[in-house]
Amino acid sequence: MASAEGRLVSTFSVDGVSNYSALLLSPDENKIYVGARENIFSLSLDNISVTHLQKTLTWSTPERKRTECIFKGKDPQTDCFNYIKILLRLNSTHMFACGTYAFSPVCSYIGEQIMEDGRGRCPFNPEYRSTAITVDGELYTATVSNFQGNEPTIYRSLGSGTPLKTENSLNWLQDPAFVGSAHINGMDQERTDGQIYFFFSEMGKEFDFFDNTLVSRIARVCKEDQGGERVLQKKWTTFLKAQLLCSLPGDGFPFNIIQDVFVLPAKHRKNTLLYAVFTSQWSKGQAGSSAVCVFSMEQVDRAFSGRYKEVNRETQQWYTYTQPVPEPRPGMCITNASRQLGIGSSLDMPDKVLNFVKDHFLMDSPAKSQPVLFTHSVRYTQIAVHRVQGLQRVYHVMFIGTDNGRLQKALNVAGAKHVIEEIQLFTVHQSVLQIELDSVKGSLFVASHSGIVQLPVANCSFHNNCGECVLARDPYCAWTGTHCADVTRFPPQKHWQQDIEDADTSKCNITESSVSPRSLPSARQSDCEPIVIPANTLHLLPCNLRSNYAQRKWVYKSDIDHFLFPSADGGLVVSGQVGTNEVFSCWSEEHGFRQLLAKYCVTVDPSSDVSTSRVDASLVIESISSDVLTRDSAHSAVQHIKTYGTELAVVCVLLAMCVLSFGLSVAYRHRGRMKEVLRGGEQQNGPQKSPIRPGESLPLNAGALPSLPSEQKSYQTLEENCSYVIAAQETNSEQEDASTPQKCFRESHVEVSDISPRPRVRLGSEIRDSVV
C-alpha cells in the first residue's frame, strides 16, 4: 500500500459548519452540491478549494423552532439545528432538499421560499439513517415518519403517481436502518416496469433461536405500483424483501449488518453488480470485522422468484410456505404475461393475490455471497467502485472508507485480495460519511463530519521506476519505458507494461530504472549522502519504504564493532566513534525486485566529542541533525536506549512486599505467645476491673450452691492451683455476701436475672453458662 505522497488533494470546510453528509454530483453544471448543517454549498468539480467558484445557501432554523425542540427534551447544542439529509435533482431546472429542521422535518425546492412537510421523507433525528432517490420526477424515501422514530416507512411522493407507503400494522419493517436505494433497469427478454430497491438492516424475527439478531435486507417495489382497489389501498402491493447473506467460506462467519452499497450497472440487468460493505455484530478480530461482498442481480431475482415465508400470528413463528401460490404471482411487477390475463395495473389485481402479499412479504431463500475483501483491523463505512479498462482486461477498483478517516483503494484478482494504497484523509476517529465518484473526470469526493476532500483516482506519478509501477498492481498505471502513466488519460501502446495478476517485474528493462541496482554500491558513488556526527553520540539513519508489501534490509560491513540497533520506524541508530568512516545502505525487496532506498556515508567528527557517560541519553538523541531525524524518529530512538530506572523501582517494591509478608507470617505463627506476654503485662499493671454484667436468675435447684470448687471442673481456669469460693447472690439486694475471697482465690459470683432462666457464672472478666 503506497502512501499518498505526490497526490494532489483539495479540501473544503467552513468554520462553524459540520456534518457534510449529503453530496450531489451535477456534471452538466460542472458542480458538486454539498449539504451540511444549516448550509448548502455549490463547489467546482475541477477544484473544490477554489474560492471564487463557491456559493453558499444558508438554511438555518428559526428561534421558534429551536425553542420547541428544546421543550421536547432535545439537546440545544446538537439536535436543534437543520441537518440537510436529502439533496436530489428532480429535473433539469429544480433541486429538492429536506432537512431535520430542529426535529420538525421540512422539504423545499432550491431557490424557492415554499416549504413542505417533510414527515415520511426526512427523519426527525439527524443520527437516524435514511435514503432517498428520484425517478422520473417522483421521490422515493425510506425513513421514519414520527417523532419517536418507531414507525419506519418506504414512501413515494411528488409526481403524478399515487402516493404509496408501507403498511405499519403488518410489521413489514422491523426497526430498520436504511443505507441506500437504487433504480435498477436494463435490457431483458421480457419487458418489465422499473423497480426500486432499498437496502437496510433490521431485526431478524425469523431467527427466533437468537435474541436481537440483525440481518441485512434488500426490499423491492415496482415503479408502476398504484396500490390496490379494495385491499391495500394507497399501500404498496409489490413490496417484497429478501436477506442478503455475506459470510466467510469455511466457518461461515456472518457479516450481518450492511453499511453501504454501490450499484455497478451493466448493459443487461442480470449482470448488474451490487457491491456492499458489511460489518458484524459479533467480533472476529481486535477492532471488529468488515467485509465487501458482491451480489449479481441474477442472484437477487432468483431469491425474489423463490418460495415465500409465512408467519404464525399467534406464535410468531416463521415457516416456509409450501402451498400453491395464487396467480398472477404475488409481489411481481406487471409483465406481459399478466397483461395477457387482463391485468394492466395493480388496481386490477385479484383480492386473493393482495391478501397473500399482506402476510407473505418475506422470501425464504437469501441471496448469498462470499467476501472479495475482508479485514479484522478496521471497520468499513462507505464504498464506491470504478470499472477500469486495463492493458489486458477490465478491472473493478474499490474505494472504501473507514471509521478512522482512511480511504483504501483495493481490488480482487482471481480470488486474491490486494490493497493498492491506503490514504489518511481525516483525523483519527473521524468516520467517512459519504463517497461520490466522478468517473468522467477521475475524481473522488470524500465527506466526513468536518469537511470534504477531493483527490484523483490514480497516483501513477508516485512510482519512479518500472519495478514500482508494475508491483503497484494498479489498473490505472502502466510503465511506458520512461515513466509510469495513467492508462485512462492516454491511449496505451503495445510496449507498455502492466501485470495486475502476477506483478512480474522480470520484463522490466533494468536500464530504464533510475534506482534499481542489483549489486552492492560503492562508497565512492555520488548518490551517497554524507553524514557528519560528533564523536560518542547517537544518530538515526531513516529509511522509508515506498510500499507496505516490501521488506527493508540494511547493508553495512560485517566487521563494524560499534553500537548499532534498529529503530521502531525501520531506521538504523548508529553511534559515532573517533576514526571510523562507514557506509550504510538501505534496500527494499519485493517479489524479487530489489532497489536502493537510501545510502549514507557516516563520518565522525573528533573535534566535537560528547561523552555519553556524562550526558543524558535524551540530550544526545536531540543533538541528531534535524534534516534527517524527525521528531517521531527521535522519540523512537530515545525509547530504544536501555535504562534501568523502571526495573529498579519494581525490584524495590517486590523486596518491600517480601519483607512485609515475612513479618506478618512470623507474627501469625507466634500469636499465642504474644497474647500471653500481653496478658502478663496487663496483670503487672494492676487488677482488672470486672465489667458490669447483667444479673442472672437462681439455678434450678434454688438451694445451696456447690461448696467445693474442685468438683466443678468447668469453673477452673488455667491456674490449677487456685480455687474459688462461690457466694450466692439473691435477688434481694439487702442480703450480704456469705463468703469472701481468700488467698490465691478468685472471686466468683452467680448472678440471677429475671431475663435469663439459666444461671451464668462470672469468672473474673469471663462469663460462662452454669452446668448446674
Cα-Cα end-to-end distance for the chain: 95
Mean pLDDT of 731-736: 42
For residue 701, the model assigns a pLDDT of 47
Q: How many CA atoms lie within 13 A of 563 on its CB side?
A: 16
CA dist 578 and 756 (Å) reads: 98
Residue 730 predicted with pLDDT over 90 = no
In the predicted model, is pLDDT for residue 713 greater than 60?
Answer: no
Q: What was the pLDDT predicted at 682?
A: 53
For residues 354 and 237, the answer to whether their CB atoms sit within 8 Å is yes
Higher pLDDT, 161 or 211: 161
Residue 308's DSSP bridge partners are: 363
Per DSSP, 235 falls in state B
- Give the residue with greater pLDDT, 1 vs 470: 470
What pLDDT is attached to residue 631?
A: 44
pLDDT tens for each residue of 566-613: 888 888 888 877 667 888 999 988 878 888 889 999 888 877 655 544
Grid cell 430498520 in the structure block, residue: 176
- Pairing outcome for strands 84-89 and 766-769: unpaired
**Mean pLDDT of the residues in the chain:** 81
420 or 757: which leads in pLDDT: 420
Sequence-distant (≥ 6) Cβ neighbours of residue 304 within 8 angstroms: 220, 240, 242, 331, 363
**The CATH fold of domain 460-512:** ligand-binding face of the semaphorins, domain 2 (3.30.1680)
Mean pLDDT of 414-426: 89
Better-predicted residue by pLDDT, 192 or 375: 375
Q: What is the model's pLDDT at position 360?
A: 94
Q: Which of 107, 403, 103 is nearest to 257 (CA)?
A: 403
| pLDDT band per the 50, 70, 90 thresholds, residue 484 | very high
Q: Tell me: pLDDT of 690 over 70.
A: no
Is 70 exceeded by the pLDDT of residue 305?
yes
Instruction: In whole angstroms, give the CA distance from residue 346 to residue 354.
Output: 9
Place of cell 497474647: 675
- Between 187 and 248, the more confident residue is 248
Tell me which of 405-414, 486-495, 525-534, 623-632 is least confident.
Answer: 623-632
Give the span between the Cα atoms of 344 and 338, in whole angstroms.
Answer: 7
Give per-residue pLDDT as tens, 42-91.
999 999 999 898 999 999 999 999 999 999 999 999 999 999 999 999 88
Higher-pLDDT residue of 546 and 220 is: 220
Q: pLDDT value at position 716? A: 40
Contact between residue 759 and residue 752 where contact means Cβ atoms under 8 Å apart: yes
Q: Where are the domains of the chain?
A: 62-173, 460-512, 529-640, 693-769
Residue recorded with cell 506478618: 664
Round the CA-based radius of gyration of the chain to a whole number and report it.
42
Q: Is it the case that residue 744 has pLDDT exceeding 80?
A: no
- pLDDT (average), residues 320-348: 89
Give residue 714's pLDDT: 39
- The predicted structure's pLDDT at residue 568: 83
Q: Is the pLDDT of residue 297 over 90?
A: yes
pLDDT reported for residue 733? 41
0.85 exceeded by pTM = no
Q: Phi/psi of residue 389, each to 5°? A: -90, 110
Contact 460, 469 (CB under 8 A): yes
pLDDT at 92 over 70: yes
432 pLDDT higher than 90: yes
pLDDT tens profile 386-402: 999 999 899 999 999 99
pLDDT per residue over 120-155, tens digit each?
A: 999 999 999 999 999 998 999 999 999 998 999 999
Residue that the C-alpha cell 439455678 belongs to: 699
Nearest C-alpha neighbor of 206 from the set 309, 355, 331, 306: 309
What percentage of the chain has pLDDT greater than the value 90?
A: 50
Nearest residue to 584 (alpha-carbon basis) of 593, 595, 571: 571
DSSP state of 362: B
643-682: burial string, b at 16+ Cβ within 10 Å, e else? eeeeeeeeeeeeeeeeeeeeeeeeeeeeeeeeeeeeeeee
Query: How far apart (Å, rounded) are the C-alpha atoms in residues 273 and 289?
Result: 23
DSSP three-state, residue 766: strand
Q: Quick one: fold of 529-640?
A: Immunoglobulin-like (2.60.40)
Which pLDDT does position 65 carry in this prediction?
A: 93
- C-alpha to C-alpha distance for 553 and 513, rounded to whole angstroms: 20
Contact 514, 464 (CB under 8 A): yes
Position 563 scores a pLDDT of 66
Q: What is the pLDDT of residues 6-45, one digit of tens each?
A: 678 999 999 999 999 999 999 999 999 999 999 999 999 9
Secondary structure of 448-490 in HEC code, one letter for each residue: CCCCEEEEECCCHHHCCCHHHHHHCCCCCEEECCCCEEECCCC
Residues 6 or more apart whose CB falls under 8 angstroms from that of 678 comprise: none
How confident is the model at residue 515, as a pLDDT?
41
Any idea which of 287-291, 466-470, 558-562 has the lowest mean pLDDT?
Answer: 558-562
**pLDDT given for residue 772 in this prediction:** 42
**According to the per-residue pLDDT averaged within each range, which of 191-200, 481-490, 675-684, 756-765 is highest?**
481-490
Cα 541 to Cα 566: distance, rounded to the nearest angstrom: 9
